[in-house]
Each structure stands twice: as C-alpha cells, then as structure tokens.
C-alpha cells in the first residue's frame, strides 16, 4: 500500500516547541485522513532543529465507500426545511427517506453514500490548509504572503506512493510562493546540497548519509551513550539532567559529544552557581568526580559539527567561554557576600537584599503591586497555614519574609534559575530550617520534581502558590485554553501534590477567603468557588495520571465540595476500591435502575419529584420496609466518619431495593400512588447522591 512523506524545512525551530509540533502535525494529518475515509497502518512523526516530518504508512489508493445515516427534520416540518434536507442528502423526493421513531417523536432519515476519492487528491487538498493553520505557540509572517510560521519556512517535501517501488509522486501544491516537491536538504554545514527522494526507503537513509539523524529519540540516546562513555573513560560521573538533554537534542541534527574543562580555581564557588553557568548559558552537562563524589572541573559539550581537527577548536572555544562565565559568576557571588554600606554589622545578606527589594519597588504585577507587597501577603498567609501543617510559626514566618530577597542578589540577577536556591544558600548559617524552606518554596517545578517535606517549607510553598492563584483570580487573569502566562495551572498542581504527598488536611476555601483581605478585598464566595473548581479540575487531571478515572472523581466531587483535597482524593480511591467489590457493583446496578425509572418519568411529566413521601399512601410492606431503611441509612451515614463504612452502609439497602422491585409496580395507574413511589425512589437516589453521584459512573 502507498505511504506518505511530509517534511517542512525551516530555520531553527525553538527546542521547547519541537516535540509538541511533531505530535500536532501527526494528529492533524491522521485526523484529516480518517475524516476523508482513508485508513493507515502507522504514522511516525520526526523533528530536528530545522525540519518537521511525518511518515504515514499503509494508506489505500482511494477512500473507502462510506454510508452515513443523516438525521432529518421531524414529520410535518416546513417545506423549506425539508427542501434543505433533500439537497443535503441528494434525495429527489422526501418519499425516498425513511421515517424513524424515538421518544422525541417521528423524524426523517436518509442513508448518504460518501463519494470515493483518490487518496493523492485528498492529501493534496487538505495538506496546504494544515500548514497554513498549524498551531505554533508563537508565529509570524516572514515573507510577503499571508503564511505565518514559527521561523522562515524554506521548503516543503510532500510525496505519496508505493513503499517498495521508485514511484513516489509529488503531492503538488503552492503555498505563498513555496511549491512542494520531492527534495530535502542535509546538514546545514556538513551536507547542504539538495537531496531528491525517489522512493520510500530513500528519505531517512539519505538524510543520515547527509549528517542528519531524523529521530529525536535516537539523537537523545546517542548523546547520552557517548556522554556516559566519554565521562567514564576519565573516571567521571555524568550528572543527569533530562530537561537539558531534551533541549540539547533539539539543538543538533548531528550530535558530536566532546569533553571540556574549566579552571579548577572556580570549584570554590557553590556548585549550584557552576552548574547554572554551564547548563543555562552553554547548554553543557556538568560532571562529578567519581572518587571524590564532588563536582569536577570537566563538562560535556554537544556540538552540531564534525571538524577535521577532531573538535579541538570547538573545545577550546567552549573552555574559554565557560571560564569567562564563571569569572563573572564569581564576581557576582563575592559582591553578594560583601557587607553593604548603611547596614549594621551582623545583618544577613538576605535582610540587606530584602531592604533593597522594598526600596527598589520591583513590580510583581501592575495590578498586584510590588514584590515586597507580595512578601507581606505571603507572610500573613504563612501565619494561617503554619499551625495547620504543624510548622513552627516563627520559623515559617521568617522563611516567608526572606523567601523573595534573593531576587535582587547579584547572582540571581545573572542566573534567574537559581532563585530560591541562592536564598537558601545565603540563609543556611542563620537556620537550616529557614534555609530549606526558602530553597524549596518554588517546588515542585514539574511532574518529576520533588515536593517540600519539612513543615516550614510546606507552609511557605503553599502560601507562595496560593497567593499567586488568589491574586490573579481577583484581577481576572485566568488561564484560557493553552494560554497560561502566569503558570497558574502549575501553581494549582503544586498545591495538590504538596497536600497529597505530605497527607495534609487543608481546607482551601477558608484560606482563599481569608487571603482576599490581604489584597484589600472582602471575601467573595463566587471567586472562591471558581478557584476551587479550577484546583479540582487540576486534581482530576493529576489523579488521571495515577490511574483514577475522571468519572469516579466527578462522583465524589458532586457530593463533597469541602475543598479538602486530601479527603476528596481518599474518598475517590475508596470509591474505586468499593466499586471493584460485589457489593459495589450491585449498588451501582440497583441505583442505575432506580435513577433510570425516575428520570424517564420526569422527562414524560416535565416534573421533578421530590423526597416528600406520604407514608399513608404505601400499599405493600416492601414499600414501607424500603422507606424505613432509607430513613435509617440517612441518619447513620451522617454520623459515620469513615467513607468505606458509609459505602458499606449504602450497600445494605440492596435487599430492600430488590424486594421492592419484585413486589411493587412503580408506574401504578393510580396517580397519587405512582407519584408517591417515584418520590420514594427519589429519596433513595438522594441518599446515595449524598455520598457520591453514582449517575456519573458507568456500569
């Protein structure tokens, strides 16, 4: 079967956008194929700094004949509506349509055959539009046309045809002056010539010969393998940095790994500063001395170039620049350590810098005030949180007070990624507890990052993140779609992970309402509810990664809006375990049956049945028994604190429900009897929903 190769060659794509772009291209193309009735066997995206590629195998020559049922208007609809239906389906008369009946009434229906189209023509039609509407996070116009791209687009390769024959045909189209063809280009410097692709096996192999490793994972593995091999040969240990590795993979098409070295005198600097200078500015990996288990003065370079001298000049250039960077870093560090004029002897570095933060008026956000005002808010919030998490209030408040002081240190000014870490380093002599809280209060920075563990650190970390969330909610700067410039999703997820991993009972709604006063606002229940919904939305996504399906979390959240993340999460796990038992499965079955009857009757009568049951209208013992069991169960579950016991209490209703359905006809011909029985079912379902909304669960 034929296959499709697409390559979009441009100037260097930012490393952070590459993997997402590759997935987007694959998703957009395969979606269009399926919409057009074309199947495929596999789709593999590729990405390098200069090219975005996709190889789709096993596409048929033409789309499969598809027959779809088209629902039409109701019987008796206006002539204009029926004429539109006939035009849409290709029918010549409404008599050719079928009549379908459902609970909503009778309506017309028609079977519409989708036209069989040539696959080449289908691809030729949708591919330009995919390129034109590609969802780059940032893009702009680079030429005279209307096309917007992340970087100037240089060429488009698009070929389609059999895999094993030299019959690949160009999927020909023109896009703002660019004409698609069967030509790609090799490495920018090593093999820049045009490379024609005549058959499927040409593409990846010819690019490899032209010094381009197309596969992102293959480049990553090569860099890691060569770095480990090279460092091991010198009795050194590579300090793993997966984030840096992904960035470096996105900078090279032909990785060449080399070993650099800086002056040993710089090892007197804190290792965090050395690592930041090497990682952030030079995109190199730091190494430890295997024998001493301390930072080495060697580092790993990943170049995008082979040279005739074996990389000697490249290494020399890196060594020179790293030494210069470290010299700058040493100057900034020593400047921080010097006493500042106008401060009394014994005043800590962070206290000095905090005063600078206060007087400099560094703005956090134009609508939320300065960084120093933010420090004051975080301190107030920390006073509320510290007793809840078992932290020493004085230590937690001290850490909150100094947490942002390192923002105006010289080192953090040069290496912003060290904020927090340098504050902790400068505060260590004052108090290890305070230092740890300052150093870790930004954590977790990502899904693989650790969370603070000490009570004071937990206090400051939650206060920092909650201040961010409340502040931006108050000024209506909420995340929209994929846009989240203030990283509010990460802040919410950080609170969730800190609470869950440290098993903290924390009622967020109380803290949010209290903290609003720090912004000069009265407590606003609407904003509190919106923010709790946002946090719980992130909780659902997080629990989904832990193999807890959304429907279970939804069921618990519908009944429990206490804003206690730990309790809600524990209930969700307990409900999951309960539903895996016979009692749980039975409860769900009889609840669904009762709920279905109730909803069907409510739809028919357009009436919502309450729970005000009339005992005198009961005719059989099974009605009375179920009613009494529901009332008793309601009273018991209000006094039971353990959620699993509550679920087991609900499960005891099974026998009463079974006997009720065996003995009782709910839809009695007597209206008052029927309504009373429906109200009994409503009371039964209401009792269940007070524990969890079982309607949201599938059987």
Confidence of residue 436 (pLDDT cuts 50, 70, 90): very high
User: Which CATH number does the domain housing residue 197 bear?
Assistant: 3.30.70
| Positions of E strands within 276-401 | 285-289, 294-303, 363-365, 369-370
Whether residues 567 and 447 fall in one domain: yes
Question: Of 290 and 129, which is predicted with more confidence?
Answer: 129
Q: What is the pLDDT of residue 130?
A: 96
Q: In the chain, what percentage of residues exceed pLDDT 70?
A: 97
Q: How far is CA 168 from the centre of its chain?
A: 39
Alpha helices in 546-642 (DSSP H): 550-559, 565-579, 582-605, 621-639
Collapsing DSSP to helix, strand or coil, 5 comes out as: strand
With bands split at pLDDT 50, 70 and 90, how would you rate the model's confidence at 76? confident
- Whole-number Å distance between alpha carbons of 654 and 652: 5
Per-residue confidence at 672, pLDDT binned at 50, 70, 90? confident
pLDDT tens-digit map of 603-626: 877 777 777 888 878 888 999 999
Residues 238, 227 contacting (CB under 8 angstroms): yes
Are 75 and 181 members of one domain?
Answer: no
pLDDT digits over 465-474, tens only?
999 999 999 9
pLDDT in tens, 97-156: 888 877 667 888 887 766 667 889 999 999 999 999 999 988 998 876 789 999 999 999
Neighbours of 136 (CB within 10 A): 16
Mean pLDDT over 419-440 rounds to 92
Is the Cα torsion angle 220, 222, 223, 228 positive or negative in sign?
positive
Is 200:5 a contact under the CB 8 Å cutoff? yes
CB 383 within 8 A of CB 393: yes
Number of domains observed in the structure of the chain: 5
| Amino acid 325: pLDDT | 94
Is residue 398 within 8 Å of residue 435, measured between CB atoms?
A: no
Question: 114, 140, 174 — which closes off a domain?
Answer: 114
Asked if residue 692 and residue 570 are part of one domain, the reply reads: no
441 and 541 part of one domain: yes
Tokens linked to 457: 């650190």
Whether the per-residue pLDDT at 377 is higher than 80: the answer is yes
For residue 344, what pLDDT is reported? 44
pLDDT number for residue 386: 97
What b/e string do you get for 462-474 counting C-beta neighbours within 10 Å, with b at 16 or more?
A: bbbbbbbbbbbbb
Q: Are residues 452 and 550 in the same domain?
A: yes
Residue 71 pLDDT class (50, 70, 90 cuts): confident
**CA 565/CA 496 separation, integer angstroms:** 7
Asked whether 404 and 374 are in contact (CB, 8 A), the reply is yes
Residue range 673-685: mean pLDDT, rounded: 90
Task: Look at residue 200 and tell me whether its pLDDT is greater than 90.
Answer: no
3-class secondary-structure state, position 139? coil
pLDDT > 80? residue 167: no
pLDDT tens, residue by residue, 169-190 = 999 999 988 999 999 999 999 9
Q: Clarify whether residues 368 and 433 are in a common domain.
A: yes
Question: Taking CA 270 as the corner, what is the angle to CA 267 and CA 275, rounded to the nearest 5 degrees?
Answer: 80
> In this structure, are 530 and 589 located in the same domain?
no
In tens, the pLDDT along 492-524 reads 999 999 999 999 999 999 999 999 999 988 888
Q: Is the pLDDT of residue 342 over 50?
A: no
* pLDDT at res. 341: 44
Higher pLDDT, 659 or 99: 659
- Residue 389 lies in domain: 349-574
Statement to judge: residues 104 and 134 lie in one domain: no
Q: What is the pLDDT of residue 528?
A: 93
496 and 380 together in one domain: yes
pLDDT at 345: 46
pLDDT value of position 103: 60
Residue 386 and residue 493 in one domain: yes
Angle between helices 455-474 and 432-440 (to 10 degrees): 40
């Amino acid at each position: 079967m034929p296959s499709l190769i697409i390559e979009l060659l441009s100037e260097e794509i930012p490393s952070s956008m590459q993997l997402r772009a590759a997935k987007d291209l694959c998703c957009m193309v395969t979606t269009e194929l399926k919409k057009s009735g074309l199947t495929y066997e596999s789709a593999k995206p590729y990405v390098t700094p200069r090219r975005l590629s996709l190889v789709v195998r096993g596409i048929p020559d033409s789309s499969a004949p598809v027959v779809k049922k088209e629902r039409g208007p109701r019987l008796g609809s206006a002539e204009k509506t029926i004429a539109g239906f006939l035009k849409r389906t290709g029918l010549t008369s409404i008599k050719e349509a079928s009549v379908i009946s459902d609970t909503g009434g009778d309506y017309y229906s028609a079977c519409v055959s989708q036209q069989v189209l040539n696959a080449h023509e289908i691809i030729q039609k949708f591919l330009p539009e995919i390129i034109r509407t590609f969802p780059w996070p940032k893009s702009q116009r680079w030429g005279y046309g209307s096309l917007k791209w992340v970087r100037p687009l240089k060429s488009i390769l698009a070929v389609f045809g059999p895999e094993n024959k030299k019959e690949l045909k160009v999927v020909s189209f023109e896009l703002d002056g660019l004409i698609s063809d069967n030509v790609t280009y090799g490495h920018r410097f090593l093999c820049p010539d045009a490379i024609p692709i005549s058959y499927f096996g040409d593409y990846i192999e010819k690019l490899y010969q032209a010094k381009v490793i197309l596969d992102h994972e293959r480049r990553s593995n090569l860099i890691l393998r060569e770095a480990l091999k090279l460092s091991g040969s010198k009795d050194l240990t590579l300090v793993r940095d997966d984030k840096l590795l992904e960035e470096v993979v996105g900078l090279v098409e032909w990785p060449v790994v080399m070993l650099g070295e800086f002056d040993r005198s710089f090892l007197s600097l804190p290792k965090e500063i050395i690592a930041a200078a090497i990682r952030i500015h030079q995109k190199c990996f730091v190494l430890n001395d295997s024998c001493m288990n301390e930072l080495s003065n060697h580092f790993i370079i990943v170049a995008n170039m082979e040279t005739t001298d074996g990389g000697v000049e490249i290494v020399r250039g890196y060594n020179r620049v790293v030494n210069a960077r470290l010299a700058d870093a040493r100057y900034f560090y020593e400047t921080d350590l010097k006493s500042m004029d106008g401060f009394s002897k014994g005043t800590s570095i962070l206290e000095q810098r905090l005063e600078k933060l206060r007087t400099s008026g560094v703005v956090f956000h134009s609508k939320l005030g300065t960084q120093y005002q933010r420090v004051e808010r975080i301190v107030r919030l920390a006073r509320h949180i510290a007793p809840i998490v078992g932290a020493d209030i004085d230590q937690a408040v001290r850490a909150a007070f100094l947490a942002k002081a390192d923002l105006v240190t010289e080192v953090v000014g040069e290496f912003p990624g060290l904020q927090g870490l340098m504050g902790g380093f400068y505060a260590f002599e004052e108090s290890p507890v305070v230092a740890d809280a300052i150093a870790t209060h930004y954590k977790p920075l990502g899904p693989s990052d650790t969370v603070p563990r000490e009570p004071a650190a937990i206090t400051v970390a939650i206060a920092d993140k909650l201040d961010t969330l409340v502040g931006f909610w108050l000024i209506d700067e909420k995340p929209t779609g994929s846009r989240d410039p203030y990283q509010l999703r990460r802040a919410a997820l950080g609170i969730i992970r800190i609470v869950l991993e440290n098993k903290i009972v924390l009622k967020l709604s109380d803290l949010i309402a209290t903290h609003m006063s720090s912004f000069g606002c009265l407590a606003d229940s609407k904003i509190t509810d919106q923010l709790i919904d946002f946090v719980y939305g992130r909780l659902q996504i997080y629990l989904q990664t832990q193999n807890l399906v959304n429907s279970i979390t939804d069921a618990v959240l519908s009944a429990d809006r206490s804003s206690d993340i730990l309790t809600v999460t524990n209930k969700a796990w307990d409900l999951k375990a309960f539903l895996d038992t016979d009692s749980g499965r039975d409860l769900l079955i009889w609840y669904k049956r009762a709920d279905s009857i109730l909803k069907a009757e409510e739809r028919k009568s357009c009436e919502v049945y309450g729970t005000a049951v009339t005992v005198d209208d009961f005719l059989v013992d099974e009605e009375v028994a179920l009613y009494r069991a529901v009332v008793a169960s309601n009273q018991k579950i209000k006094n039971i604190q353990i959620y699993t016991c509550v679920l087991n209490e609900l499960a005891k209703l099974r026998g009463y429900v079974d006997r009720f359905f065996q003995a009782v006809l709910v839809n009695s011909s007597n209206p008052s009897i029927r309504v009373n029985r429906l109200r009994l079912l409503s009371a039964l379902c209401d009792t269940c929903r007070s524990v969890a909304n079982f309607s949201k669960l599938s059987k």
